[in-house]
Structures are given as structure tokens and as C-alpha cells.
Structure 1
Amino acid sequence: MSSKAKRVLPTRPEPPSVEQILADVQGALPTDPVFVLPAEPPQEHGPAPGCPEPAAEELYRQIRSYVGMNQRLQQSRERLRERRRELQRVGEELDRGIAEMRQKAF
């Protein structure tokens, strides 16, 4: 039988304090990659050429619609979980009833 040597991992360093984070951010140059937005990939489903970008109001409506759909999906998921639990409970009761009937029959 071969024994594997346990690997000893180095301890994790302590996370920086708020003061250290603020000092780091304040000392960073404006050209620091953290502060530079990456080039956006080409939009496949963007507006057609010559059409204006969607207005802020339209974006706001789209976001509200997305949030609403997300909330409805979460509610539906919870209702499905409740129904699943109920079906499992009913199935267990049915299994017990069948077992009792079989015992009485034999």
C-alpha cells in the first residue's frame, strides 16, 4: 500500500484593511488597468445601422422588465418546490396504503 504525503498549503494572508485599500486606490494612476474600461465586444443584437441607441428610459424599462421576470421565475420555482414536496408526501402516503393493503391481502 502506498501512502500519499499530505500536502501542506501555505496559510492565507490576512485581507487588507479598509485603510490599506483606500491608500492603494488613492495611490493608483488613472491609467491603472482597474480604472480603464475594456473595449466592448461588437454587439450582435444591437440597433441596426443608422438607428439611434436606446434612450435611458427604454433601458430603464428593459431592466424593470428583466427584474420583474426574474422575480416571477423565482416565485414559480418556489411554487414548484412546494408542489414537489406535496407530491412526494402524497406518494409516500400512497406507498404506505399499498403496503397495508398487501399485508391484509396476504
Structure 2
Amino acid sequence: MGSKAKKRVVLPTRPAPPTVAQILEDVRGALAQDPVFTALAPEDLPGPSRRTEDSEDQQEQLYQQSRAYVITNKRLRQAREELRQKREHLQLAGQELERDISQVTQAALPGTSATSSG
């Protein structure tokens, strides 16, 4: 009951947001060491020319990775097709082998059962 009885504190109204001109003036007047500019900037990038080089390096790296992906993907598709053909060949060879075994068994034991032992 005590918490509901507290008076609400009236906050002052918010100031109007700065204009674009005021923001630009503030940014232009800021020092290079201002935490706003240094907190998010990578330390190993001294200037815009380095950023351009890094961007180009990154683009080249992505291009090379994409090429490697495409080449590897083609190889995998070829390998999959070769394996499919080999599997079919092995299945046919297995069926032929089973037929041959059956023929040999029938020829070797024409009158006796294959499961009987002497």
C-alpha cells in the first residue's frame, strides 16, 4: 500500500533534437581522439586508403573462395555420378554372381539337397 501512495515525479520535457547543421558542426569540431570516433574504428586502419585496400583484399578473397566452391561442387557432382555408375555395375555383377552360384550349385548337386550333410 505504501508504494502506491508515492507521488509520481514529473520529469522535465525533452529538449528538441539537434538539427543537421548542429550535428555537422559538432562532428567537425570534435577531436580525432574523441571516443565516439575511436571506440568503433579498428586500430590497424590508419586511413581511407587502407580501408579501400582491405575491401579489395576481402573482395578478392571472397571471389577466390567462390571459385573454389564452384570447382569443388563440380568435382563432387562428377564423383557422385561416377559412384552411381559403379554402384549400378556392382549390383549387376552381384546379380550375375548369384545366378552363377545358383547354376553351379544345381550342376554340382543335381539329385541331392544342398542342405543335407553326409
Aligned residue for 1:84? 76
**Cα gap change, 1:105 to 1:59, in 2 (>3 Å):** same
Aligned to 1:64: 56
Tell me how far 1:30 sits from its aligned partner. 4.5
Superposed displacement of residue 55, structure 1: 1.9
The Cα of 1:94 is off from its aligned counterpart by 0.8
TM-score w.r.t. the length of structure 2 is 0.47
Q: How high is the sequence identity, in percent, across the aligned residues?
A: 6
Name the TM-score, length of structure 1 as normaliser.
0.52
- Superposed displacement of residue 42, structure 1: 3.3
1:42 corresponding residue in structure 2: 39
Post-superposition shift, 1:74? 0.7
- Counterparts of 1:59 and 1:42 in 2: how far apart (Å)? 17
Structure 2 unaligned blocks of 5 or more: 1-18, 22-35, 99-118
Q: How many residues align?
A: 66
Q: Shift of residue 70 of structure 1?
A: 0.5
Correspondence for 2:94 among 71, 91, 102 = 102
Using the alignment, how far apart are the partners of 1:54 and 1:78 within structure 2? 36
- Seen in structure 2, the aligned counterparts of structure 1 residues 92 and 41 have a Cα distance that, compared at 3 Å, is farther
Deviation at 1:56, TM superposition (A): 1.9
Separation in 1, partners of 2:76, 2:54: 33
Q: Please tell me the residue identity of whatever aligns with 1:42.
A: A
Equivalent position SS for 1:54: coil
